[in-house]
Structure 1
Amino acid sequence: MAFGPLRRGFVEWCDKPATKTKQLGNSVRPPPDGAWLSGDYFGRCSNITLVSLPAIHSYPRGHSLMSTAKKPLVLVIMDGWGYSTKQEHNAVAAAKTPNLDRLARDYTSTLISGSGLDVGLPDGQMGNSEVGHVNIGAGRIVYQELTRISKDIQDGDFFQNVELAKAVDAAVTKGKAVHIMGLMSPGGVHSHEEHIMGMIEMAAKRGAEQIYFHAFLDGRDVPPRSAQSSIEQFDALFARLGKGRFASMIGRYYAMDRDNRWDRVQQAYDLMTLGKGEFTADSASEALAAAYARDENDEFVKATRIGAAAPMQDGDALIFMNFRADRAREITRAFVDSDFTGFARTATPALNFVMLTEYAADIKTACAYPPTALVNTLGEWLAKQGKTQLRISETEKYAHVTFFFNGGEEACFTGEDREIVASPKVATYDLQPEMSSEELTDKLVGAIKSGKYDVIICNYPNGDMVGHTGVFDAAVKACEAVDHCIGRVTDALAEVGGECLITADHGNAEKMMDEETGQAHTAHTNLPVPLIYFGRKAEVAEGGKLSDLAPTMLTLMGLPVPPEMTGKPLMILK
């Protein structure tokens, strides 16, 4: 996509209303049992449909077609679609995107920030989908758990955390082990390795003699083969403390599944509970070298036991150090759910399990950093104003346009519908870069023409999900598929007199090669993202960020902005 010269200065009805849950930063309460994609994902939301287009035209609770057809304001979020002036290895720039090029040229357009301090992350930290959607929906900067926990470590408060201390002390008193698991990565998307090192140090200082680290390898939010530097840091920590060691290693592909692929999760579970893996190694460095020799990047490293077996036993403590919920839920349920049915568990040790943040409201175990309330998100405010809204995406990003966008609300608001399109069942999305974008667009166009909705929120996952594979040609095809769909969407809006804001939650596909390492770049970026307003003539305010989008939408609709929203309207109508 050639974004073109910026025109600066122009630029479900529910059976019950939602009840607020608690939220702080991106520690939003994930939905009850059933994973992100299931039809009963939002148990109190009666109008979630999977793939049938006619369902979008059904009018529950006596809605009359004789009412004036609505002209919707659509927010299209092109996931993983950043803007870079560098053309090389830039799938967004290389893609043929005539529709977006025309829209950026002929309508008000600019760039906005989706990373760092502007979304409540540390300065320079790349954004991510969860953080982006929380900020967009909140209409204010929402400070993230990465920032909160890092600050607690710096201030020393982390080492006095009640739930963490309780679990460690109980293990020490009984002479039991402290197991720590989590994504060993500096990426800061699902975890941060500094948090894990802080937990290891805390366990050692409180007297734990048996400290075992079960490392999940990243290679997705960081370069594909970058784990060695992290291993060296942890080995140095163990040497300094005189206690603790690596017990196992496995790629996040297995340990952090979020799509009910329980065969993957079982490999991680058996590795940790039984101390049995497909491979063994004397050290973490040796395990990683062997994985690379098998041509396994970090994300896909197979289950490897390190050193003597350290199976989990009754009375041991297990601390899960991921702070992001979506990829932490399945493995957590395998450990704590008494009625777990994902796979047959060979061992079910009675563990003192602590989740760093709350992964789901119905996961009944200790939580070190429980969430607090976030009030008057865009979805809640639209409901209070009597407006109807639709949330729609593929499986991969459905949670983001619903649960995260609503600030951790598990139920839909009055007048809110939700539509989910199944993402293709392929091993990696470079094998089908268009994903289910055409089917998603069929449903979106149907919703636009239905006259039913005041607001529609839609996410196209392609740029992010294919960008994560590191396959340049596939990422180009993904961007072209999204552009084609954008053309269909704006055509439908023009037909009914609707409007559209087109943006992204963070960058990814615009940088497909890491110039420093020479490896494929599979992570997000901290680059700006586009914002295009397909609608009336307007001037654009500069210096925008994701949290400005909700106030912008409300202003375009002629609605008041709630006082909790501190973002600024970016589009000023002429």
Structure 2
Amino acid sequence: EVGHLNIGAGRVVKQAYTRISDALSEGSLSDNDAIAAAFDHAAGTGGRVHFMGLVSDGGVHSDVEHLLALIDAAADAGVPATTHAFTDGRDTAPEIADGFLGDVTKRADERGTGHVATVTGRYHAMDRDENWERTKKAYDAIVEREAPHEADSAVAAAEEAHARGETDEFVEPTLVADEPGLDDGDAVVFFNFRADRARQLVRMLTDTRPAWAFDLDQPEVRLTTMTEYDETFEFPVAFPPQQPANTVGEVVSEAGLTQLRTAESEKYPHVTYFLNGGREVEFAGEMRTIVESPDVPTYDEEPAMSAEELTDEAVATIETDDPDLVVLNYANPDMVGHTGDFDAAVEAVEAVDEQLGRLLDAIADAGGHAVVTADHGNADDMGTPEDPHTAHTFNPVPVVYLTPDGDGGGTEIRDDGSLCDIAPTLLDLIGLDLPPEMTGESLLD
């Protein structure tokens, strides 16, 4: 999310994570109108406020410090609170959830509220590919108090899951003894700041026109989200979006040019919603193609994913529609890298290498220029067989520029660049002036 937002904006965009953390530092979180209203609702109905989200320090979807601050705020407001903890293991090491859950338990014990009621791996609670049966498992634990496992404490829930062979990402829903479920009159604060993996559970808790085949007895609750998860949601938002204007796609569209945005479903929001500045908008002249990701539990089972089909679609569009700008995301190195399976990651990279070659040939045949880059690392560090690395890395990412003849035409690329310089580079290649909002600079010397 962060990388694609900055790539599309052509400037450094202050993230929701930073805005929330700033509020914590200033001590103003409890004064936030949306959060205060959630507390008031629970107090007025005699109910509880339920905090739910990813409990880790991964910093991609959430931060455990934000949850701890919410527990403090609820305690200060005198509102009973309960936590539904989703365990990570994807943006963090695979078996460290017990530490984060211990931190939450310690704070809840100190403040007398906010204790963990359910523990569920993000594989179930944070699916984004409409695998509704996964989301239903999280829903049943939170609302119905029905789950495959029970534990005496949140820490024990994680430890017992590890003993069953489940890493944090895949922890089966577990009820923690003596904690209540979500009920009529309660309030919910979903504290993930990234939207895409929070939407499905929010929909299952609230939608009256469901996209799933389950009969649900949804409780009447007041739901508040930390950031805006979807423009169609009508829930209070604690930190509304600050949407950058004049993103690369908007500039291309305003110039009367065409563009293609394409990815498989795992990365489709990145090349559309996030690249467009966190806006659910499709600009004039913007074509979109989505290719479904394989329906497998984890992508080490199918490392090639849908890269070939994605390339087929992109090449066909280049040949028939000749778009002025193509933005394509290959998901394989990231998604397979998250599994920690080295051999599968090698297959994933080989698959992308082959398909990228086909794509670059098609671009060259059309007389186009190509910029190949990434927004973060992952498969570049797979760890060891004994200690696999499943999280993103902080290594610099490459930038490769190709002209139609297959090289850079003698052009040098600045070595002090940033992701916010990608959009200015693309506009430079297309021959469009940079809007004043873009503070990045072209990488081409």
Asked if TM exceeds 0.5, the reply is yes
What displacement does 1:569 show? 0.6
SS at match of 2:412: strand
For 2:45 and 2:327, how far apart are their aligned partners in 1? 52
The 5-angstrom pairing of residues 72-83 of structure 1 reads none
For 1:520 and 1:345, how far apart are their aligned partners in 2? 40
1:257 pairs, out of 117, 120, 127, with 127
**Residue 503 (structure 1) aligned with residue 376 (structure 2):** no
**Residue 167 (structure 1) aligned with residue 35 (structure 2):** no
How much identity, in percent, do the aligned residues show? 47
For 2:311 and 2:211, how far apart are their aligned partners in 1? 35
SS at match of 1:213: strand
The residue number in structure 2 matching 1:39 is: none
What displacement does 1:492 show? 2.2
Q: For the Cα contact (< 8 Å) 1:276–1:309, is it kept in 2?
A: no
Are residues 320 and 399 of structure 1, via their aligned partners in 2, closer, same or farther at CA, if it must alter by over 3 Å? same
Q: For the Cα contact (< 8 Å) 1:275–1:311, is it kept in 2?
A: yes
**Residue 534 (structure 1) aligned with residue 402 (structure 2):** yes
Q: Give the counterpart letter for 1:136 in structure 2.
A: I
Q: For the Cα contact (< 8 Å) 2:338–2:390, is it kept in 1?
A: yes
For 1:287 and 1:133, how far apart are their aligned partners in 2? 35
1:550 pairs, out of 404, 409, 423, with 423
SS at match of 2:267: helix
The residue number in structure 1 matching 2:12 is: 141
For 1:212 and 1:409, how far apart are their aligned partners in 2? 32
Q: For the Cα contact (< 8 Å) 2:147–2:175, is it kept in 1?
A: yes
**Residue 423 (structure 1) aligned with residue 293 (structure 2):** yes
Q: Give the counterpart letter for 1:556 in structure 2.
A: L
Q: What per-residue deviation string (whole Å, max 9, x for no partner) do you get for residues 274-324 of structure 1?
A: 222111111112111211111011111111100125122211111111111
Are residues 316 and 393 of structure 1, via their aligned partners in 2, closer, same or farther at CA, if it must alter by over 3 Å? same
Q: What per-residue deviation string (whole Å, max 9, x for no partner) do you get for residues 341-382 of structure 1?
A: 424344321112111111111112221111233210000100
Q: Which has the higher helix share?
A: 2
Q: For the Cα contact (< 8 Å) 1:138–1:376, is it kept in 2?
A: yes
Q: Give the counterpart letter for 2:388 in structure 1.
A: A
For 2:264 and 2:18, how far apart are their aligned partners in 1? 29
Are residues 559 and 243 of structure 1, via their aligned partners in 2, closer, same or farther at CA, if it must alter by over 3 Å? closer
Q: Give the counterpart letter for 1:249 in structure 2.
A: V
For 2:45 and 2:317, how far apart are their aligned partners in 1? 60
What displacement does 1:189 show? 0.5
The 5-angstrom pairing of residues 9-408 of structure 1 reads 130-208=1-79, 210-408=80-278
For 2:188 and 2:59, how far apart are their aligned partners in 1? 21
Q: Give the counterpart letter for 1:181 in structure 2.
A: M
The 5-angstrom pairing of residues 431-510 of structure 1 reads 431-450=301-320, 452-510=322-380
Gap regions ≥5 residues in structure 2: 404-408
For 1:203 and 1:242, how far apart are their aligned partners in 2? 10
Could you tell which deviates more after superposition, 168-177 or 264-273?
168-177
What displacement does 1:207 show? 0.4
Q: For the Cα contact (< 8 Å) 1:336–1:364, is it kept in 2?
A: no
What displacement does 1:478 show? 0.6
TM-score, normalised via structure 1 length:
0.75
Q: For the Cα contact (< 8 Å) 2:185–2:220, is it kept in 1?
A: yes
Q: What per-residue deviation string (whole Å, max 9, x for no partner) do you get for residues 376-422 of structure 1?
A: 00001001111111111111111111121111332321111111112
For 2:216 and 2:362, how far apart are their aligned partners in 1? 54
What displacement does 1:526 show? 1.2
Q: What per-residue deviation string (whole Å, max 9, x for no partner) do you get for residues 86-141 of structure 1?
A: xxxxxxxxxxxxxxxxxxxxxxxxxxxxxxxxxxxxxxxxxxxx111111111111
Gap regions ≥5 residues in structure 1: 1-129
For 1:169 and 1:494, how far apart are their aligned partners in 2? 60
Q: For the Cα contact (< 8 Å) 1:389–1:454, is it kept in 2?
A: yes
The residue number in structure 1 matching 2:406 is: none
Q: Give the counterpart letter for 1:551 in structure 2.
A: P
For 1:410 and 1:169, how far apart are their aligned partners in 2? 31
For 1:524 and 1:481, how far apart are their aligned partners in 2? 20
Could you tell which deviates more after superposition, 456-465 or 362-371?
362-371
Q: Give the counterpart letter for 2:392 in structure 1.
A: H
Q: Give the counterpart letter for 1:505 in structure 2.
A: D
SS at match of 1:538: coil
What displacement does 1:262 show? 0.7
For 2:243 and 2:312, how far apart are their aligned partners in 1? 36
Q: For the Cα contact (< 8 Å) 2:184–2:220, is it kept in 1?
A: yes
For 2:384 and 2:421, how far apart are their aligned partners in 1? 31
For 1:478 and 1:470, how far apart are their aligned partners in 2? 12
TM-score, normalised via structure 2 length:
0.96
**Residue 569 (structure 1) aligned with residue 435 (structure 2):** no
Q: For the Cα contact (< 8 Å) 1:337–1:363, is it kept in 2?
A: no
Q: For the Cα contact (< 8 Å) 1:390–1:455, is it kept in 2?
A: yes
SS at match of 2:288: strand
For 1:392 and 1:483, how far apart are their aligned partners in 2? 17
Q: Give the counterpart letter for 1:150 in structure 2.
A: S
Q: For the Cα contact (< 8 Å) 2:7–2:419, is it kept in 1?
A: yes
For 1:386 and 1:537, how far apart are their aligned partners in 2? 30
For 1:431 and 1:215, how far apart are their aligned partners in 2? 28
Q: For the Cα contact (< 8 Å) 1:212–1:244, is it kept in 2?
A: yes
Q: Give the counterpart letter for 1:231 in structure 2.
A: L
The residue number in structure 2 matching 1:56 is: none
Q: For the Cα contact (< 8 Å) 2:116–2:179, is it kept in 1?
A: no
SS at match of 2:398: strand
The residue number in structure 1 matching 2:388 is: 520
Q: What per-residue deviation string (whole Å, max 9, x for no partner) do you get for residues 220-274 of structure 1?
A: 0001101111122112212221333111111011110101111111111111112
SS at match of 1:540: coil
Q: For the Cα contact (< 8 Å) 1:266–1:343, is it kept in 2?
A: no
Q: For the Cα contact (< 8 Å) 1:336–1:365, is it kept in 2?
A: no
Q: For the Cα contact (< 8 Å) 2:305–2:332, is it kept in 1?
A: yes
Aligned residues: 440
SS at match of 1:571: coil
Are residues 175 and 455 of structure 1, via their aligned partners in 2, closer, same or farther at CA, if it must alter by over 3 Å? same
Q: For the Cα contact (< 8 Å) 1:217–1:251, is it kept in 2?
A: yes
SS at match of 2:117: strand
